[in-house]
A and B are shown apart, each in its own frame.
Chain A
Amino acid sequence: MPGRWEDNGSSLLKEFAQLPETERWQKFREEISRCIRCYACRQACPMCYCTECFAETNNPAWIGVTTELTDTMIFHIVRIFHQAGRCVECDACVRACPMGIDLRPFTKKIAADVRELFGFTPGFDLETPPPLVTFREDDQQGFITEPRKG
C-alpha cells in the first residue's frame, strides 16, 4: 500500500486510539483473524527472548496450538502486553508478517500508554529499569479491583 511506512504508524495509532472500545476490539479481531500463527513476528522481535514461549508450552498448555481465533488473539494480546515498557517500536514484527498484518495500532497503543502513565520511553537509557518490572509503594493502582467489591 503506498505510504504504508510514511509516518511510522502514528496516524494508525491516532485512528485506532480514538475509536470506541467495541470498535477497537472489532478491529483487533479482524486484523488477527488473518494470522497464520507462523510466529514470524515473535521471531523477528528483538525483545521476544523467552527460551520457551507460553504459546508453545504443552505442560501446561496455556492456549491451543491452532489458528482458532481465541487462541490466536490470546497469543497476540499476551505477546504485545508482555512488551509494555520494552517495545522500542522498531516494527520488525510488521515487516516480518507474511500476511501483511499491521500490529502497529496495538503495539503503539501500549507504548503510548506507558509513555503517558509512567513517562517512560524504552531504548534510551541502560540504567533505568522498565516501569513494569519494578514496584514502588506509591505506584498507581487504581486499576486493581477487588472482584467481590465489584
Chain B
Amino acid sequence: MDKALLQRKDLDALIAAVRTRAPVYAPARDGRDGGTAFRPVESAADICLGPVNTRLSVKGLFFPQREPLMKFSGSALSEVTLPTESPVVFGVRPCDARSLTWLDTVFEGGGHEDPYFQERRKSAVVIAMACDQPSASCFCTSVGGSPYGSDGADVLASHAGADGALLFEAASEKGRLFLEEHAGLLAPANAQAWAAREARAAAAAEKMEALDLSGLKEKLDAALDSPLWGALTKTCLGCGVCTYLCPSCHCFDISDEKSGVDGVRVRSWDSCQYARFTLHASGHNPRPLKKARMRQRVMHKFSYAPQTAGTTFCSGCGRCVRACPVDLDIRGILTAFKDLP
C-alpha cells in the first residue's frame, strides 16, 4: 500500500493499534508557554501540531542529549542495553525528517557505524507531517527542502481537508509495510483529494520567501578572512542555542560520570559555539574568538558538508532564527556572503 486516507475519527484507533506493540511519539505541550516537544502520546488529544515547530528538533529521539555508552567498575567494562522500543514518531516536519538523512550519513557512514544511533533509527517509523504553516523564520525552500518533502521519512502525512482526514504516502519500504499493517483503518483517496494535496503543497511553498543561495559555497570559501565574520557576529552571546536546537548539528563530548571506582561513560551534545569546544590542553585555542566559532558553524553547514556529503547540513527549520537571544539570523549571514562581489 503506497497511498491511503485516514479519517480523523480513526486516528485514535491507529494510535491504539500501534501502542499495542510500540510507543507513539508526537509533538505535545511542553511547559506553560505554548511550546511543544516530542513526547509519548496516548491519543490524538495529546498531539499538538501547532503553528510553530517543536522547540527541540526530532534528533534527540535518535541522538539523545545524554546517552550512556558503557559502564565500568574498576577496570571491568560492561555494555549498556541498546534501545529496543521501535517507536512510531508522528508529526515530524519535513525539515526535521530531512535532517535525519544527514545524521544517517554521520552515524552510519564512513566505516564508523554508531550502534546507539542506528538501533534507534532502524527500529523507528518516522511519519512526517506536511507543513501548511511555515513560520516567518522558516526557509526550507531556500536550502533544497520543501514543506511537503518526504526525505528521511517513512510516511508523509498531509491534511486532506477541513474535516481533519489525513492523506498518507509511503516514502520508504518501512513506510509501505506500516501502511499495509494498518490497512484495515485506511481507505483509498480519490483523485480529487490528491489534486487538492498538490495545490496545498504549492501554496505552502509559496508562503516562504526563497533566498537565492546559488554559488554560496564558493563565496564562503573565498571569504575565510573576511571582516564580515566579525561584523555579523558582534552581538552573538556565545551560548549554544543555535546548535542544540539545530536538527542537524551533531557534535558531542564524551565524559565519565564516576562514583568511587564505578561509573558510566556518557556521550552528550557539545557546541562549536563554546570557547572550550576547541581549547587544547596546552592552553592554545585555535578558535579563540566568537567570529571564528560562528564561521565554523556556517562553514560546516554550507561549505564543508557540500564538499564531503554533497549537500548542505541546514534544513531551513528556522529554530536558530527563532530562539537566538540576540536575533542573529543565519539568513542574513548567508545573504551577506552571497552578495559579496
Contact = CB atoms under 8 A, between A and B. Distances in A.
Interface string B228-271: 00000000011111001100000001010100000000101101
A36 B243 CA distance: 11
A102 B238 CA distance: 21
Given A34-B31, A43-B237, A66 B268 contact: yes
A88 interface: no
Nearest to B271: A38
Contact of B255 (A43, A64, A98): A64
A53 B37 CA distance: 29
A42 B325 CA distance: 11
Contacts of B66: 66-68
Give the interface size bracket for A toward B.
Answer: 20 to 34
Interface of B is mostly: loop
A11 to B, nearest CB: 13
A64 B30 CA distance: 25
B325 A99 contact: no
What interface size band does chain B fall in? 20 to 34
A13 interface: no
B237 A40 contact: yes
A139 to B, nearest CB: 36
A44 B239 contact: yes
A39 interface: yes
A115 B184 CA distance: 66
B266 A66 contact: yes
Given A44-B325, A66-B257, A4 B268 contact: no
B323 interface: yes
Nearest to A52: B276
Contacts of B31: 34, 99-101
Interface string A86-100: 000000100110111
Interface in B23-73: 30-35, 37, 55-56, 65-66
B219 to A, nearest CB: 30
